[in-house]
Amino acid sequence: MHVDLMEKVARMVISDYDVHERSGFPSNIPIPRADAARHILRDFAQEGYLLKLIESLIEVTAHGDMGREVRIPLLPRIIAEIEEQGYRYSAEKGVFLEAGGRERTMGWGTLHEGKTYEFALLRVDIAGNSKLVRRYPKALISAAYSNVRDLVTRSVEKREGRIWSWEGDGGLAAFYFIDKTIQATLCGMEVIHELFIYNLFKRDLPEPVLVRLAVHAGPCRFLQSAKESAGDTIRRAEMLESRYTLPGCLTVSPGVFTDLGSKLSPLFTQVAGPDNGSVYRYGLEWEKK
Amino acid sequence: MKVLVFTRTPSAFAGLAVQKGKKALRIEVLPMAGVRDAIPASANEALVYLDLRGLGEKERDKTLSLLNKHPDVCFGIIDPAGAVDDVAALFHAGAVDYIGKKLGAGALTARRLSKVAEYSRSVDQASDTLDLSEDMPEPMSAEGSDGWSEIVPGREYRFAFLYIEADDAEELKKRYEPANLASAMETFRGFIDRTVTQHGGRLWMWSRFGGLALFPLRGGTSLAPQCGLRILLARIFYDVEESLLPGRLSFRMALSVGSTLYQKSNTGGIVSDGINSIFHLGQRFARPGQFLLTEEAFELSPQQLRGYILPAGTYEGRRIMRMLRPVPAAGNPENDPACET
């Protein structure tokens, strides 16, 4: 691989990357290929972008460069070594993801602390928590809430989302990859359906457990400690859930709704939202008897 | 009984129409051009034979689909070229006779017609009056840990039968390329197979657009009704996350309890009243998008589920129930293109 292409691949990750500037080579002197490769690898490893660099290399070998085929003979070995570290490459998403056996991290093992990314956020809250807590023994409530959390976690992780925070009666999940708004919305809908089945056949509480769910998408600073995370996107998701969502329903913001497409959007009803605007509601109901 | 033979070559059957004697059937040999008007008028009135010779693939499919739309018409197929791939499917759709490559068109004799007419009358009577489960031998129930471990191929057992089939196959065929449609239906099969397996069942038969799953009865119980509910609830996610079709796929389901010889393969050749009955219920009585249950299947349903099941009429002498369907958001079925009522 010639140096220009190496630099091009590097710029797919760090847009202003300049191998001459980083290595100290004068710009009018060509850098030997081995030196360029060594500098790029060192820089990307130091800045925590090594996986992103490999993802870019995979992309270039898969699609070529300006119509030319690009071959990297050792790439399969590099991928195998990364996978041995507990990752798997998702060709669909074009990224390395944490494999099943590895502990799932909040940043998918690829996001950088303190950086801002676009996320779709799903806010979940058990409706009527205070009343339930007053009415039933603590053990019964703990078991029920734990079941709800498990159910939400299964649905979130099935769609490559991550639970960012969970405290007693609710939490926040994040979706980052392709179709993130659709994934978050489907997750919210599935939680409603799964909870219906749970309430019908499995619950120990004398009354059904209902949740309020809301999906909103936007930029958000990524912090491993989600408790410290804040920002407009998180606040808006919380506000949609607490003020514009009925128990047993999912609310999505207008931006999310526009992403839903023709199969999902007809299932939502437009209702009044904040700032004289609209939000969109999904709830599981049954045809009238 | 009147017998109508539709053919491109009426002269080939000239001898049939001139029967004499007390038991003579009223046989009319008619040109194929009249078939579209004659089929709807023949329900419960006549036995219809279609001679497929000389029909192009499109015309053949159209005529067969017309028969599918009129399940009360008893029909036989004359197919000396062996053009029909899935002969069993014809019988699931109500056929009472098939004259294929080996027999040749000459096998349609007055004697055969008399036998077929007698057979079709007996099928009608049986389906109108009999509760099929009462006359069955005492088949075994599977009591093993998963219900399947004790089931031995070659023996008869009682099962819950769950029938599933995509609605309006003819429209799907018109709309999509055969290869694309085949892939889409394979994905649909995968969704059904996975859900059935999760509930302790097995997808046992599958033709292009649907099939039949078996659930062992363990101590008289089965997760089959819950499986049907789960499929209804998962339909949205299937449409969005798995389906290869651009629109939503409507399908119907029916659940009954019956007996059959259990075989792992060559299931197309199994003769079972229980299987015929569930195919009839699914194909002839269920409407698009519905999930029907016989009374026995309703008895399998846990109490919590029964509030979601309503009477839906009588079919073949049995009371039929239907499960309510989930509707989106404000309870407006019009929002859901796949929810036809």
Q: How many CB atoms lie within 10 A of CB B146?
A: 11
Gap between the Cα atoms of B98 and B82, Å rounded: 10
Cα dihedral A112, A114, A116, A122, rounded to 10, equals 90
Query: Which residues, 6 or more positions from B103, have their beta carbon under 8 angstroms from its beta carbon?
Result: B80
Across the interface, which of B310, B333, B341 has its CB nearest the CB of A289?
A: B310
More confidently predicted of A47 and B19: A47
The reported pLDDT for the residue numbered B23 is 53
pLDDT for residue B160: 95
| Greater pLDDT, B285 or B13 | B285
The CATH number that domain A116-283 falls under is 3.30.70.1230
**Statement: residue A22 has pLDDT above 50:** yes
Helices in B157-272 by DSSP H: which ranges?
169-175, 178-198, 224-237
For the stretch B35-78, pLDDT in tens is 777 776 666 567 888 888 888 777 777 777 777 766 667 788 88
* Nearest CA-CA distance, residue A17 and chain B, Å: 38
Q: What is the ipTM of this complex?
A: 0.77
Nearest chain B CA: its distance from A276 CA (Å) = 21
Check residue B40 and give its pLDDT: 67
The angle subtended at Cα B14 by Cα B9 and Cα B15, nearest 5°, is: 140
d(CA B321, CA B110): 42
- B337/A201 Cβ within 8 A: no
Question: Quick one: which H or E segment has residue A122?
Answer: strand A116-126
Q: Which residues of B touch A (CB under 8 A)?
A: 226, 229-230, 233-234, 236-237, 239-241, 247-248, 302, 304-305, 308, 310, 324-333, 335-337, 339, 341
What is residue B248's three-state secondary structure? coil
A192 touches chain B (CB under 8 A): no
pLDDT tens, residue by residue, A199-221? 999 998 999 999 999 999 999 99
E strands in B85-209:
95-99, 156-166, 202-206
Confidence of residue B334 (pLDDT cuts 50, 70, 90): very low
Q: Name the most confidently modeled range: A87-101, B105-119, B155-169, B252-266.
A: B155-169
Distance (Å) from the alpha carbon of A253 to chain B's nearest alpha carbon: 15
pLDDT of residue A220: 92
Rounded to an integer, what distance in angstroms lies between the CA atom of residue B229 and that of residue B221? 16
Report percent pLDDT > 90 for chain B: 41
Q: Give the SS3 label for residue A34.
A: helix
10 Å Cβ neighbour count for A274?
13
SS3 assignment, position A282: strand
A141: pLDDT strictly greater than 60: yes
Supply the pLDDT for residue B290. 96
CB contact under 8 A, A287 and B237: no
Domains delineated in chain B: 2-129 (3.40.50.2300), 133-335 (3.30.70.1230)
| pLDDT tens for each residue of A49-71 | 888 899 899 888 888 888 888 88
A195: tokens are: 């909870």
**Environment class of residue B37 by beta-carbon count within 10 Å: exposed (0-12), middle (13-18) or buried (19+)?**
exposed
Region(s) of chain A under CATH 3.30.70.1230: 116-283
Looking at per-residue pLDDT, the higher value among B279 and A109 belongs to B279
pLDDT tens per residue across span A215-247: 999 999 988 876 666 788 999 999 999 999 999
Among A19-28, B159-168, B200-209, the minimum mean pLDDT is found in A19-28
Residue B336's pLDDT is 44
pLDDT band at B153 (very low <50, low <70, confident <90, very high): confident
